[in-house]
A = this chain, B = another copy of it.
């Protein structure tokens, strides 16, 4: 699977994603999340549901202690305050030196210039994966998110890029996969993207091929979203149901629902 055929990915990626999710459950990786206040609780619950162990401290005094014990790391730029700035710099310096996989989620950087600048600086430090939407990609790179641009940005930054939206594109500069799972209710619950980024970090902790890990997380999250939407009565019960589904997500569901091309 290290060199998948781009157009025969469907059942193949579902199968691999099932393996990756099983490994997360078996190994219970520690994922440290430096994330925004709005997303912290939901993110922690998504990680716990899939079997990972979240920690969330943002204090500069202890961030390195936590990151040093973590198997992967997420930095999310939502509600970005002074303390998180300091903690981010310390944490990134540590994960780069140690080779810990890390995910950059440049939330809302299209809305704030200081946030854009910070995101660009972090992008230069070769995150394992960057997870963002089209507006954030445009703000980060100054370019529209066409396939060719995605491939080049991934290559130039030695990073997997996961562009999420109505459909998702995941590339490492060589391989690219399009995933058509998910449900419109996902856009009606806060912190969905943030939680997906944390799930990517959990998968990176158990799968060395970052492109495979990232695609597995995106596929699994989208499939879980579709299943949760089937019985949801609105975004409230959808969010609750998504946690339930992620907790029990299995190979049969991934094979039946996965839509990767």
Residues of A in contact with B (beta carbons under 8 Å apart)? 36-42, 44-45, 48-49, 54-59, 61-62, 65-66, 69, 78-83, 108, 111-115, 187-191, 232-237, 239-248
Complex contact A41–B38 (CB within 8 A):
yes
Query: Which residues does chain B contribute within 8 Å of A38, judged by CB atoms?
Result: 40-41, 44, 56
> In the docked arrangement, what's the CA distance between A115 and B66, Å?
11
Contact among B44, B79, B236 for A190, CB-based, below 8 A: B44
Query: Which residues does chain B contribute within 8 Å of A56, judged by CB atoms?
Result: 36-38, 78-79
Complex contact A248–B236 (CB within 8 A):
no
**Top 4 A-B residue pairs of the complex, sorted by shortest distance between their CB atoms:** A234-B244, A236-B243, A44-B190, A234-B247
> In the docked arrangement, what's the CA distance between A164 and B115, Å?
38
CB of A243 to closest CB in B, whole Å: 3
The quantity of this chain's copies bound in the complex is 3
Closest to A68 in B: B111
Complex contact A49–B234 (CB within 8 A):
yes
Contact among B48, B59, B114, B243 for A61, CB-based, below 8 A: B114
Contact among B36, B83, B190 for A45, CB-based, below 8 A: B190
Q: List 21 A-B contacts (CB under 8 A).
A: A37-B37, A38-B40, A44-B191, A48-B188, A48-B190, A49-B235, A57-B108, A57-B112, A59-B80, A62-B80, A62-B113, A65-B111, A65-B112, A66-B108, A234-B245, A235-B243, A235-B247, A236-B242, A236-B243, A236-B247, A237-B243
Contact among B82, B236, B241 for A59, CB-based, below 8 A: B82
Closest to A49 in B: B235
> In the docked arrangement, what's the CA distance between A113 and B59, Å?
13
Complex contact B114–A45 (CB within 8 A):
no
Closest to A70 in B: B111
> In the docked arrangement, what's the CA distance between A38 and B37, Å?
8
Complex contact B81–A59 (CB within 8 A):
yes
Query: Which residues does chain B contribute within 8 Å of A45, judged by CB atoms?
Result: 189-190, 235-236, 239
> In the docked arrangement, what's the CA distance between A54 and B191, Å?
11
> In the docked arrangement, what's the CA distance between A62 and B248, Å?
40
